[in-house]
Amino acid sequence: MEFSNSKKYTSFLVLFFLLTSLVSPLSTYSMDFDPNYILSDEEMQDAGALTLNEIQSFLEGYGSFLTMYQAPDIDNRMKKASVIIYEAAQRHRINPKYLLVKLQKEQSLITDKTPTEKALDGATGYGIDESCGWSCGIYLNNKGFGKQVDSAAAIMRWYYDNQGKQAWIKTKSKIYSVDGQDILPQSFATAFLYTYTPHIQGNKNFWTLWQKWFEVTYPNGSLLKTKTSPDVFLVKDGKKRKIANMTALVTRFDPKNIIEVPEAELAKYTVAPDISLPNYSILKQGSQYYLLDGETLRKFASADVFRQIGYNPDEVIEVNSADISGYTIGLAIQANEQNITGRLLQTQEGSLYYVKGNISQYVPHEAIAKSHFPGIIKESTTFANILKYESGDTLLFADGTLVGINDTKKIYVIENGEKRHIPNEKIFAGLGYSWKNIVWVDSSIGILHKNGKQMNMPDTLLRTDVSSDTSNIEVAENTANIPSTKIVHFEENAKMYLTPQDEKKTTGPVINTDIESYVMAEYETGKILASKNADSPRPMASFAKVLTAYELMEQNIQITSPATYVQAKHNSPYDEFRVADGEQIRNRDLLYSLLVSSLNTPALILADQVGGKEKLVQSLNTKVQSLSLANTHFEDVAGTDINTYTTANDYLKIFKKSIQNAEVSRILNLANYMYYESKDLDGYRVHQDSHTNGLKKTAEGYTVLESKTGYLYEAGYNLAMVVERNTDKKKFIIITMGNPNYDTRYEGQDALTHWVLKQF
């Protein structure tokens, strides 16, 4: 990564999924598909790989139709899809990740926003074979989402239980001809996958999805947390260990290195025992005393040794066998042992050594010591004293440390003593690393660490639930160049505002349309393909709600917390939000009503969670300034005030910025939703609705992804959406403002979309 050393850059994560090291240490991971080894048996049978909440979060992270879908389970009881998946995995002791991949591989049910009933009925492809297809008797007997999920897990368990009893069940270490190619499965799981799907390409598709979704992203030593929970986890070898308390954290790590990630990202890691005890704790189980040294438990040779060394009995923590079951037992501590917990010594010449027991390790940079031992204090010594100790290996940076090389301006993250290059800012920001946490050293230090595998990141990780603060920092450096907002005043007259003659301007091809203003751009590059009156301010209407939602997330609104509707305070004009005075609704559910149904009252309820609507309006205008949008201004948080306005060009920037937030993106992508009030007073607890953009259902040749509508008499009909061409998955952003034909409001946008798809 070539950065200027003077640049102030801070970023936090938020995604999805990077291909690096495997979840299972038994697996031999490669970036290339190996048809002989698809999945380990440990992984296939890891029923505890995901909790029920993690399965639900995974579905929500993809905006999946299955998020709210309910169906009869194997016992004909109506349950949510996530519950059906979880219970099938537990019942048959099969990894729920396997079931998620099967649902996508067979019927695209994780990403398909409007699956057919047929796809849901044949969810995992169970019983559908080439001889009889969808009319197979086995399929007809297992038709329906609940039965399909359960059967997919059950057949894998049956393969394990009957392997060797049935000749047609493929087994490991035996050669089979598959699609004319010899295959030698190296695990039973691989053999069973070929038994279920006897084709190489089908199993390659399975492997590709598994790699994309469940191969862990972060290197050993990373500290991860989600935005919605205070829990911090240490990741190592594909596993996550919850750090149960602050003392356990600060005695091992620097809290500033914690990275916020989406829940679906954290769900990729297998659960390992908690870290609940402070490092260097004195523990007692029965009559035995221990010193906890990192991941090692060291016995005191006897109670007399414990007393001779001089530990205070008040420092002792009583534990049971379960508390210490996950630790390695190290060498016993004898009475004559010195430097039991380690010391950092500096000679008169300035050289640093870490001394523990009778071993000294040369420390080539003070930051290396701090990466291992936060808060350690240097002690003065002589080189002659260092020579008394046995010489050990040179101490290198701890895993997870960000290291920049002054000479090259390249940045690395350390894992297992190797430095893994982060090749560009896009990946650095996407992974949520913070510029201020980089330790800058000379190449003489960097060269001590071998080169490891370069860090990489697929595009799916770019949609983050915590946005980068790069723009804010750039603003701080260029404050003098921020243009002042041009204040525009619109009169309320119930007539759509027309673009003044002197502001009319078209770029690119002229398109015959009654829409007053539009801009069309490539999603990936931001390249403007065509525009009309794109710099002319217009009333924003409900377009305003997108930046409102984004700013709420920026201010860390607790989306799982309930909020109370106060009629006298929150009732809004132009609204049909069905809620009674005093009822409570979770903030996330209010966001559904705000962004999908485009209701106004939820904006006022949500604003109260961050200090009120006036304060939020101020924050919105500050955000507008930070984005250098001179033709955008907020008077309210819902867009009901006609003097909340923007331009098509400005809103293109607002929309693209806002959907970098994973939660905002996910909700804008929903075709429909359903939720329950947290506190119901009028007997109408359930809320459900469909997206206000009808093209979500009727689009042909393309798929509408994130989308937002807006309408006021003075604004006309506004529509913003990301569309994806079905043939090659190329994405475009289309913003239209001022469509005068409300009754045929989708036709104009649909025509512009098809023009873009045909031309580009």
Q: Which residues contact 172 (CB under 8 A, 6 or more apart)?
A: 185, 186, 187, 188, 190, 191
Q: pLDDT averaged over the chain?
A: 86
| CA 19/CA 166 separation, integer angstroms | 36
- 450: helix, strand or coil: strand
Please tell me the distance from the alpha carbon of residue 544 to that of residue 561, in angstroms, as a whole number: 23
Which residues fall within 8 angstroms of residue 418, CB to CB, at 6 or more apart? 449, 450, 451, 452
Residue 319: is its pLDDT beyond 80?
yes
pLDDT band at 250 (very low <50, low <70, confident <90, very high): confident
562-564 vs 584-586, strand pairing mode = antiparallel
- For β-strands 528-532 and 517-522, DSSP reports them as antiparallel
pLDDT for 570-581, tens place per residue?
887 666 788 999
According to DSSP, residue 610 is labeled G
The mean pLDDT of 319-332, rounded to a whole number, is 83
Domains recognised in the chain with CATH numbers: 1-17+216-280+341-468 (no CATH), 41-214 (no CATH), 282-329 (no CATH), 501-759 (3.40.710.10)
The beta strands (E) that lie in 533-612 are given as 538-539, 562-564, 584-586
Are the C-beta atoms of 538 and 715 separated by less than 8 Å? yes
For CA atoms 523, 525, 526, 529, give the dihedral sign: negative
Bridge-partner residues for 299, per DSSP? 290
Instruction: Tell me if residue 522 falls in helix, strand or coil.
Output: strand
Q: Considering only 213-222, 407-416, 664-673, which range has the smallest mean pLDDT?
A: 213-222
Start-to-end Cα distance in the chain? 32
pLDDT at 31: 43
- Could you tell me where the beta strands, DSSP code E, fall in 19-164? 70-72, 78-80
| Cβ atoms within 10 Å of 489's Cβ, excluding its own | 7
A 10 A CB-CB count for 79 gives 18
How does strand 645-646 pair with strand 584-586? unpaired
Q: Are 710 and 597 in contact (CB under 8 A)?
A: no
Q: How far apart are CA 274 and CA 242, in angstroms?
A: 5
pLDDT score of 3 more than 70: no
* pLDDT band per the 50, 70, 90 thresholds, residue 341: confident
Strongest mean pLDDT among 59-68, 226-235, 396-405: 396-405
CA dist., res. 102 & res. 238, Å (int): 22
DSSP notation for 412-439: EEEETTEEEEE-SHHHHHHTT--GGGPE
β partners of residue 689? 673
Cα–chain center distance at 293: 33
Q: Can you tell me the distance from the alpha carbon of 65 to that of 86, in angstroms, rounded to the nearest whole number?
A: 17
pLDDT reported for residue 61: 73
Instruction: List CB contacts of 279: < 8 A, sequence separation 6 or more.
Output: 248, 251, 252, 292, 293, 294
Report the SS3 class of residue 86. Answer: helix
Predicted confidence band at 564 (pLDDT cuts at 50, 70, 90)? Answer: very high
Most confident region among 279-283, 524-528, 573-577 by mean pLDDT = 524-528
What contacts 55, CB < 8 A, 6 or more positions away?
82, 85, 86, 96, 100, 267
Q: Is the pLDDT confidence value at 678 over 70?
A: yes
pTM of the complete model: 0.42
pLDDT at position 394 is: 94
pLDDT of amino acid 23: 29
Whole-angstrom Cα distance, residue 188 to residue 170?
Answer: 8
**d(C-alpha 292, C-alpha 276), whole Å:** 11
Give Rg (Cα) of the chain.
30
At 333, list the tokens: 């501590």
Instruction: Give the C-alpha separation, 717 to 182, whole Å.
Output: 60
Nearest to 760 by CA among 524, 534, 535: 524
Alpha helices in 640-694 (DSSP H): 648-658, 662-669
In degrees to the nearest 10, what's the CA dihedral of 51, 55, 58, 62? -170
Which pLDDT tens digit goes with each residue over 355-390? Answer: 998 899 999 999 999 999 887 889 999 999 999 999
Q: To 5 degrees, how large is the angle CA 191–CA 193–CA 194? A: 65
- pLDDT value for 573: 64
Q: Measured between alpha carbons, how far is 751 from 180 in angstroms, rounded to an integer?
A: 48
pLDDT tens digit sequence for 95-137: 999 999 999 999 999 988 899 999 999 999 999 887 888 989 9
Among 249, 214, 213, 245, CA closest to 234? 249
**pLDDT tens across 449-495, in order?**
988 777 765 434 443 333 333 222 222 223 333 344 456 788 877 78
The pairing of strands 439-441 and 402-405 is: parallel
d(CA 232, CA 306): 33
